[in-house]
């Protein structure tokens, strides 16, 4: 039997009896004796025995071989040998003590991958789900097309005109002397000062011609009388 079909049958059989913490590992790189190993927990002796019986019956119904079955007398750890696959059905305390996952758990196999489309559950999961047409979200909507706005011919012509160029600013040569215009007030003051300066020698010449002598200051000393 194909290993993928075998692992699917085993997982389904364990799930039917409510097996807990089902894990599946690929052991082809560790040993040549078997390709898969499954570990599952049962809460009681009765459940571990029921899990082992479910695996055995499903594999036989599908035409597979059951090489051996051990541990049914106590029910603490039941081992089902399927040739290419070994199933360990353990109670939680025994499973925690032996920790088989640490020995064989290098390559875990996802349970979703273990269930193939050949099973009824796999076909149901793979089948496309029907959508109710009365919901607006499930209705087919037309694809929105981009809208292109057309500009009027006049606007296009206006847009086509090149923008007016601004006159270039005059460049001032660096290192030269810039002449600044004198204000009217400063010019009037300078003119008045020049006129006064020119009039001063004329007045002195006129006074000399008229024979006027410059006025002299007389300082009188007053003697104090002795008392």
Tens of pLDDT, residue by residue over 37-50, are 999 999 999 999 99
Q: Which domains are present in the chain?
A: 3-126 (3.30.460.10)
The DSSP letter of residue 207 is H
Question: H-helix or E-strand containing 70?
Answer: strand 68-70
Mean pLDDT of the chain: 75
Question: How far are the Cα atoms of 75, 220, 224 from residue 227, in angstroms, in the given order?
Answer: 160, 22, 9
CB 24 within 8 A of CB 15: no
Q: Hey, which residues does 89 pair with through a beta bridge?
A: 40, 78
User: Residue 71's pLDDT is what?
Assistant: 93
The pLDDT value given to residue 15: 94
Evaluate if pTM is beyond 0.85. no
The predicted pLDDT at position 194 comes to 76
Half-sphere exposure of 129 (CA within 13 A, CB side): 4
Give me the mean pLDDT over the 182-211 stretch.
Answer: 65
pLDDT tens digits along 47-72: 999 999 999 999 999 999 999 999 98
**What pLDDT does 191 receive?**
77
Q: Is the dihedral of CA 24, 25, 26, 31 positive or negative?
A: negative
Percent of the chain topping pLDDT 90: 45
Tell me the pLDDT tens digit for each residue of 112-122.
755 544 444 44
Taking residues 19-25, report their average pLDDT.
95
- Where is pLDDT greater, at 189 or 142? 189
**Those residues with Cβ within 8 angstroms of residue 76's Cβ, 6 or more apart along the chain or in another chain:** 45, 48, 90, 91, 94
Position 185 scores a pLDDT of 73
pLDDT tens digits for 144-194? 666 666 655 555 555 555 555 666 655 555 555 555 555 667 677 777 777
Confidence of residue 217 (pLDDT cuts 50, 70, 90): low
Segment 17-31 mean pLDDT:
94
Question: For residues 36 and 104, what is the distance between their CA atoms, to the nearest angstrom?
Answer: 9
pLDDT of residue 118: 41
């Amino acid at each position: 039997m194909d290993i993928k079909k075998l692992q699917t049958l085993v997982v389904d059989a364990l799930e039917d009896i409510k097996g807990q913490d089902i894990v599946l590992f690929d052991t082809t790189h560790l040993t040549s004796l078997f390709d898969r190993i499954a570990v599952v927990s049962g809460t009681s002796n009765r459940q571990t025995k029921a899990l082992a019986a479910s695996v055995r019956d499903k594999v036989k119904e599908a035409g597979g071989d059951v090489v051996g079955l051990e541990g049914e007398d106590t029910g603490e750890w039941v081992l089902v040998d399927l040739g290419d696959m070994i199933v360990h059905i353990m109670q939680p305390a025994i499973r925690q003590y032996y920790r088989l996952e640490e020995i064989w758990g290098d390559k875990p196999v996802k349970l979703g991958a273990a269930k193939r489309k050949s099973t009824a559950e796999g076909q149901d999961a793979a089948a496309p789900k029907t959508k109710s047409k009365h919901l607006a979200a499930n209705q087919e909507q037309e694809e929105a097309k981009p809208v292109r706005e057309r500009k009027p011919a006049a606007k296009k012509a206006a847009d086509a005109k090149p923008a007016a160029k601004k006159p270039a600013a005059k460049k001032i040569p660096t290192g030269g002397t810039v002449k600044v215009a004198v204000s009217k007030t400063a010019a009037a003051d300078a003119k008045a000062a020049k006129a006064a300066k020119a009039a001063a020698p004329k007045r002195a010449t006129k006074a000399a011609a008229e024979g006027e002598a410059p006025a002299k200051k007389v300082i009188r000393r007053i003697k104090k009388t002795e008392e």
